[in-house]
Amino acid sequence: MATIDKTQQDAEKLTAALAAVKFVKDGDVVGLGTGSTTTFAIKELGKRVKEGLQITAAASSIRTEELAKSFGIQILDLGSLSTIDVSIDGADEFTETLDLIKGGGGALFREKIIASLSKNAIIITDASKKVKKLGAFTVPIEVIPLAYQYVFDQVTELSGRGQLRSVAHKPFITDNGNLIIDADFGLIDHPAKLASDLNQINGLLAHGLFINLTSKVIMSEGTDIIVFE
């Protein structure tokens, strides 16, 4: 596997973030994703808010909410919104057909709600996230704790090799109080079919396959910006 230069990668994340922020206008309700790429966008939005941009925002995680507030961005209750004008979020993998794997940061459930509400769902990435087929990155699956073993077994039935996500030898707990199974399905030939199969599993709150939820991916490669839509 090719090694990725972190400085170069951060420069690409910043370039993509700055390009995405240009889509935000006065009066917009903005959906804010989670992760290192989105952090660049939140910082830039905060700068623009200080310069007079008037927006409100919905956050996909507690850490994004705290970050946005620290930059003076007003946060709305996600559960009260019927629509979001524009959202900006990252991805762990994407294809040119705008299928994604998300949830590396564990915020997939709220990120999916934000993407579902968004009129313009923008994904920002560095060049390392573009793949021909999804699946080198495992698919995060958020599961309600009392359904853990059931969901794990159902994922196995679908040929997914699951692993409970843990941090410092303890189960990772999402902002919603749930567990995450990271499931390896190998390279995924039919992501929409797998997404639909996963959607049938009771007790599975959300999975990281984002299908038909993205308006555009803004990817930076070197100093270039490439938009997939």
Among 4, 5, 25, 36, binds ligand 5RP (CB under 6 A): 36
User: Per CB under 6 A, does 106 bind ligand 5RP?
Assistant: yes
Using CB under 6 A as the binding rule, the residues of this chain from 60 to 89 that contact ligand 5RP are 89
Longest CA span, the chain: 53
Using the rule CB under 6 A, give the single segment among 29-37, 77-85, 153-161, 170-178 that binds ligand 5RP: 29-37
Q: Does 105 bind ligand 5RP (CB under 6 A)?
A: yes
Residues 6+ apart with CB under 8 A from 144: 178, 203, 205
Which residue, 131 or 150, is less far from ligand 5RP as judged by CB? Answer: 131
Phi, psi of 123, rounded to the nearest 5 degrees: -110, 135
Q: How far apart are the first and last CA of the chain?
A: 28
Q: Quick check: is 44 catalytic?
A: no
Q: In whole angstroms, how close is the CB of 27 to ligand 5RP at the nearest point?
A: 26
Of the CA atoms within 13 Å of residue 51, those in its CB half-sphere come to 8
34 binding ligand 5RP? (CB under 6 A): yes
Indicate the residue among 49 and 110 with the shorter CB distance to ligand 5RP.
110
Element (H, E) at 197: helix 191-199
Q: Which stretch binds ligand 5RP (CB under 6 A): 90-98, 155-163, 175-183, 191-199?
A: 90-98
Minimum distance of ligand 5RP from residue 38's CB (angstroms): 6
Indicate whether 91 belongs to the interface with ligand 5RP (CB under 6 A): yes
**Least CB distance from residue 169 to ligand 5RP, whole Å?**
22
Q: Which one of 44, 65, 93, 111 is the catalytic residue?
A: 111
Does 159 participate in binding ligand 5RP (rule CB under 6 A)?
Answer: no
Contact yes or no for 75/65 (Cβ under 8 A): yes
31 scored as a contact of ligand 5RP (CB under 6 A): no
Best CA proximity match to 211, nearest among 229, 221, 196, 224: 196
> Which residues lie closer than 8 Å to 195 by C-beta, 6 or more apart?
207, 209, 211
Does 33 participate in binding ligand 5RP (rule CB under 6 A)? yes
As to burial, measured by CB atoms within 10 angstroms (0-12 exposed, 13-18 middle, 19+ buried), residue 91 is: buried
Residues with a catalytic annotation lie at: 111
